[in-house]
Structure 1
Amino acid sequence: MNLLDQDSGMRKVPESERQHWMVPATIFGGLEFSVPVLMIGAVLAGSFGISKVLLILLVGLVVIQWAGNALQGYIGAKTGLSSSVIARTSFGSLQARFIIGLALVILNIGWFAVNTAVAGNAIAAVLHVNYKENWIIWALLTIGAGLLFAIPAVIGYNSMKWTDYLAVPSGLILIIAAVFYSLKGAGWEKITSWNPEPTMTFWGAVGLILGANVAQWLIASDYTRYSKPTIKDQALIPLGIIVIGFVFFLTGAVMSVGVGDADIVTVMQNLGFPFWGFLILWLALWTSQLVASYSTGLAAANMFNVQSGKGRAWLTIIGSALGIILALMGILTFFMDFLILLGVIYPAIAGVIFADFFFIRNKEWVDKEGWNWMATLAMISGGLVGYVTQYLIPIGIPAVQSLVAAVIVYLIAMKLKAIIAPDQFTETSTVNSKKATVLQSTNFEKISD
């Protein structure tokens, strides 16, 4: 079995291949190595002092984000399956394949496209290329960046592990250097005494932190399936997100105060070392791009029932190519619309999966054929709650409210369906669940051989 065949998005990861919690924590932490995280930190500094930013991060990352990541992470480790496969037990195989899989593919390709466009713009800025006047040169730079980002994800999980081992520590060192130059230019007193007039509420700022990370409530299992299903491991794995997230959000805030600009590329150039600024940017984008590209391949493999590592690799290539095309078409213009889509869709889907796994199936995964309309109802309801509380009647934390609404609607709908019109989705017998799980495990073993 070659390297590509070992990393199929459809197969169950056996216990013999489970790794130390530091491995998925390092790879998963790469999600925070992104320019949008730095930019959000800069935006926060435009409304809050550094001490208030710390409190916002404490609530958003440690209290809320950690809990969601740990729950989904446990599901991935317990089942050994990817997120799009896990969704079959609650949504049904048909719905999970086409609806959930499509949502994952579109959103991950979107992130890949956004970051690739940012990379192209940054390289162009460093080389003094105006992409409006020299579009062909900018396009070539953007294509090259996208291809470099995709290669490790095409090869698979093990390649991502080693690239992140190199990129994460290097990126942190470079970030520290950027903070040093910010302190040198602005001074510690100015940064610590920074107290701007707020343009957003505290909870709005927390929602901004969650908006950058909410997709993890669904895709965490893509990486924790390689870890051990213990409470300790799943509580520790989100440390990668928490630690790196704190560093990047704070770095963006400090750099913005020191230079007086929320544009991270401009900030890095103004710090006095444009080449180093580009290197920081490239490393930051690289790690998050690995996750986006890899998750695209996994979800697409489930959509099209591709059960080989080579097939998963080809789908990753196709997804990355589509992301590059979107970057060239100007997806950055629709960046805010894309963020709206993230905040509406992901929490609602995660809520259905959480409710089904922990309350309906008693922590067992059972492959269910067909389409569970109760899951569809709950997903739409959660999405509507998130949309309304975000844009029509702003209140609370929309992402959390979307998830909670989906959980409540799903549990009530499933209970009513079990009474009125029971079907395969309302079967919760422990015996049936164990039989189905054994049969499914056997099928996954046959597939991976």
Structure 2
Amino acid sequence: MSKFDDYPLSPVPANRRLSLLSVAIVHMGMLTALDQFMLGAVLGNSMTLAEAFTAITLASLLFGVLTFALGYAGMREGLPGSLLARWCGFGRHGSVLIGMLVAISLLGWFGIQNAVFARSLSYALNGKLSFAESAALSGTVLTLLVTFGFKALRFTARIAVPLFIALVGWIFWHAFHGQSGQNIPPVIASQAITVSAAMTMVIGGAILASLMTPDLTRFSRNGKDVFAITLLTIMAGEYGVNGVAILIARELQTSDIIAIITQTTSSLGLLAVVFSTLRINDLNLYSSTLGIANAIEGVTGYKPRYQMITLLLGMLGTLCSVFGILDRFVDFLELLGVIFPPILGVMIVDYYVLKTERQTLALSRTSDALPATSQLIGWPALIASVAGAATGLLVERGVPVLNSMLVACVIYLLTAPLLKRSSSLQEKVTAE
């Protein structure tokens, strides 16, 4: 796994594929993190127990289908998600836009995770460091560590995933059997959250994991491993961390996770926050770097250095946390929940239904090199994605995440074959 950074812009060779556990432990880490705990606390403090778990279950089914489908494509072709989009409908310049969108969104996640860490650090030091000072310090240190790449990610994941799960279990025990909860002031939810809105938030919290899945499953050996990885991540993240957080928030009547962690676990909680933030932000920056690398290579043909991009993105992510992105957490999730599902839907429809570039990918697979050709820009894919996202944002009826994805898939299914047929007719006329 130490060679993980060697294939940002090329397929992973068959002899570099890894075991189920090696990939699963890192993939599980994407949803066994503080952001899932934060989401569960918000849902538990704003919904009934039945409504919250209904939203999680329905969202997990959709997340599972999308994640497995895209993860299997990544395993089959050995390509990361932002690069796979180039041959899944979006074309060379279209995939550049996808890479940029992924990078910007992951910077948001980096800022949110860093803000949680900074608040915990400021609390632990009794305010000796302000939030802004703590955010700047932690963001800088995390960015420097991330420049070591996936080797550091794998090491921290092996420690952080079990430690964070143990932390959640400890908080759960104290919430229902200890006395710490009596010291936590209740935070009353400002408004109730509907099941459809909660589903969009859950998908928003996990959808980037779907798009990032090929970044990891390109190292998987077969489809069975991809299915197992998807299932383990859902069980650990959605029902383990998210589900338990719902129960804890309802018991303690608060959604303030910093108060929950520090009051129930003290220094152990801070240690878990440190490792959890380090691990998930390593992955955030890694996949963000892949997206930027694909964008730069797609436009200029130049292949930039991983470390340089990581340092620049880490600085920008740190600024996001200093400027208060954590305060917009719910809005951020709702936005992601309608922007990215259309993109995933288009990629899956193109790869499994229309198969526009499957033959091109198959011919290049044996040479462990990228296909020599690709369309310049996939207008049907871009139009369908924008239409789907607009539907999710503007149409209030139904479930926004489903609305956005279904509209995008239908539009792409109708327009892509028409454009291809029109291009073929033009080529025929020109030839005559």
TM-score after normalising by structure 1: 0.82
Cα 1:5/1:354, change in 2 over 3 Å: closer
In the other structure, the counterpart of 2:254 is 261
In the other structure, the counterpart of 2:42 is 43
CA distance in 2: counterparts of 1:317 and 1:307, whole angstroms? 21
Any conservation in 2 of the 1:6–1:309 contact (CA below 8 Å)?
no
CA distance in 2: counterparts of 1:424 and 1:253, whole angstroms? 58
- Specify every segment of 5 or more residues in structure 2 that has no aligned partner in the other structure, as ranges: 181-188, 362-370, 428-432
Cα 1:142/1:307, change in 2 over 3 Å: farther
SS of structure 2 residue aligned to 1:237:
helix
CA distance in 2: counterparts of 1:253 and 1:3, whole angstroms? 37
Q: CA deviation at 1:244?
A: 2.0
CA distance in 2: counterparts of 1:58 and 1:159, whole angstroms? 33
1:301 corresponds, among 284, 293, 307, to 293
In the other structure, the counterpart of 1:346 is 340
CA distance in 2: counterparts of 1:336 and 1:51, whole angstroms? 21
1:119 corresponds, among 101, 117, 120, to 117
Any conservation in 2 of the 1:24–1:227 contact (CA below 8 Å)?
yes
In the other structure, the counterpart of 2:10 is 11
What is the correspondence of 1:97-108 to structure 2 with a 5 Å cutoff? 97=96, 99-108=97-106
Please tell me whether residue 214 in structure 1 is matched to residue 207 in structure 2.
Answer: yes
Q: CA deviation at 1:270?
A: 2.9
CA distance in 2: counterparts of 1:284 and 1:396, whole angstroms? 35
Cα 1:109/1:351, change in 2 over 3 Å: same
In the other structure, the counterpart of 2:388 is 382
In the other structure, the counterpart of 1:430 is none
SS of structure 2 residue aligned to 1:200:
coil
Q: CA deviation at 1:197?
A: 13
What is the correspondence of 1:92-171 to structure 2 with a 5 Å cutoff? 92-97=91-96, 99-129=97-127, 135=130, 138-151=131-144, 153-171=146-164
1:140-179 deviation digits (Å, cap 9, x = unpaired): 4223322443355432334322221111112111221111
Q: CA deviation at 1:198?
A: 9.2
SS of structure 1 residue aligned to 2:424:
coil
Please tell me whether residue 199 in structure 1 is matched to residue 197 in structure 2.
Answer: no
In the other structure, the counterpart of 2:379 is 373
Please tell me whether residue 315 in structure 1 is matched to residue 313 in structure 2.
Answer: no
Q: CA deviation at 1:5?
A: 8.5
Cα 1:172/1:336, change in 2 over 3 Å: closer
Please tell me whether residue 413 in structure 1 is matched to residue 409 in structure 2.
Answer: no
Any conservation in 2 of the 1:214–1:399 contact (CA below 8 Å)?
no
CA distance in 2: counterparts of 1:213 and 1:164, whole angstroms? 18
1:37-69 deviation digits (Å, cap 9, x = unpaired): 1122122222444455444333222x2211111
- Sequence identity of aligned pairs in percent? 24
Any conservation in 1 of the 2:121–2:134 contact (CA below 8 Å)?
yes
CA distance in 1: counterparts of 2:64 and 2:341, whole angstroms? 14
CA distance in 1: counterparts of 2:7 and 2:303, whole angstroms? 4
Q: Which amino acid aligns with 1:256?
A: A
TM-score after normalising by structure 2: 0.85
In the other structure, the counterpart of 1:191 is none
Q: CA deviation at 1:126?
A: 1.8
1:78 corresponds, among 63, 76, 79, to 76
CA distance in 2: counterparts of 1:29 and 1:147, whole angstroms? 25
The farther-off stretch of 67-76 and 214-223 is 214-223
Any conservation in 2 of the 1:217–1:347 contact (CA below 8 Å)?
no
Q: Which amino acid aligns with 2:76?
A: K
Runs of 4+ in 1 over 6 A off after TM superposition: 306-310
CA RMSD of aligned residues (A): 2.9
In the other structure, the counterpart of 1:33 is 32
Any conservation in 2 of the 1:123–1:141 contact (CA below 8 Å)?
yes
Any conservation in 2 of the 1:33–1:287 contact (CA below 8 Å)?
no
Q: CA deviation at 1:203?
A: 3.0
Q: CA deviation at 1:369?
A: 3.5
SS of structure 2 residue aligned to 1:282:
helix
In the other structure, the counterpart of 1:447 is none
Q: CA deviation at 1:221?
A: 0.8
SS of structure 1 residue aligned to 2:30:
helix
The farther-off stretch of 232-241 and 140-149 is 140-149
Any conservation in 1 of the 2:200–2:401 contact (CA below 8 Å)?
yes
CA distance in 1: counterparts of 2:322 and 2:190, whole angstroms? 37
CA distance in 2: counterparts of 1:274 and 1:199, whole angstroms? 31
Cα 1:25/1:280, change in 2 over 3 Å: same
Q: Which amino acid aligns with 2:164?
A: G
